[in-house]
Amino acid sequence: MKKLSKILDETKHKDRPKNLSKEFQHFGVYLAESLDDTKHYSLYIKLAKEVDRTLLEQALNFVKGFEGAKDKGRVFMWKLKELKMQNEK
- pTM, to two decimals: 0.78
Helix (H) or strand (E) holding 86: helix 72-88
**Could you read off the pLDDT of 13-44 as tens digits, one per residue?**
666 767 778 888 889 989 998 998 889 989 99
The answer to whether residue 9 sits within a structural domain is no
Give Rg (Cα) of the chain: 15
Kindly report, residue by residue over 49-87, the tens digit of the pLDDT: 999 999 999 999 999 888 888 899 999 999 999 999 998
Question: Does residue 3 belong to any structural domain of this protein?
Answer: no
Q: Where in the sequence is the domain holding 56, given as residue range(s)?
A: 21-88
Q: List, in sequence order, the alpha helices (H) in 12-71.
A: 23-34, 41-50, 53-65
Q: State how many domains the chain has.
A: 1
Is residue 34 a contact partner of residue 48, using CB atoms and an 8 Å limit? no
